Amino acid sequence: LHELNFGSFTDKEKPFKVNLKVKIKNHIQKLDDDMMVLTGAVGMDTFRDITAARKREYPVVFHPSLHSESMDRYIFPSGFRIRKIPQALTLDTPFIYRAENFVFQDSTLTISVSHKEKEHKISAEQIDEFKRHAVEMQKRELKLKNIVFEKK
């Protein structure tokens, strides 16, 4: 931990912010002198637990969460580029809002995520539709699991 700052605990008109500056070992793997892989940079709930059963007897109830925003920056040695920058995402469904953005500039990858779970009830009859959404989120999670950087 290099730096830790908190926003106001008392000013309820402003969003509460926590700013961290950390160095994480082994988050980026150097495969060789020309290639690095960033693993697990974007985490998300893909609802594997909810969709694991073939059939549901009871509804799924989502309770609203606080709106969270995160911005992570990864600084790479100069001369590296992203093999394929992930596409931005904006998802606004009855049960979740999520926006993701990726910018690579001056050897720095910035990942911004905005997330909020909404209050919603999914009946057992509606679970197949929800499962289709969850499968799409699981596919996206796999695409984002490893971000490859190559030397120019």
Cα 134 from Cα 46, distance rounded (Å): 6
> At a CB cut-off of 8 Å and minimum separation 6, what does 143 contact?
86
**pLDDT confidence band for 20 (50 / 70 / 90):** confident
Q: List 110's β-bridge partners, or say none.
A: 73, 103
pTM for this entry = 0.83
Q: What was the pLDDT predicted at 35?
A: 94
76-98 pLDDT tens trace: 889 999 999 999 999 998 888 99
Instruction: Tell me which of 46-50, 83-87, 97-101, 111-115 is least confident.
Output: 46-50
- Calculate the average pLDDT of the chain: 88
Q: Are strands 35-39 and 146-151 parallel, antiparallel or unpaired?
A: antiparallel
Predicted pLDDT at 62: 87
pLDDT tens for 25-43 read 778 889 999 999 998 888 8
Distance CA(17)–CA(22), nearest Å, equals 16
Give residue 23's pLDDT.
Answer: 78
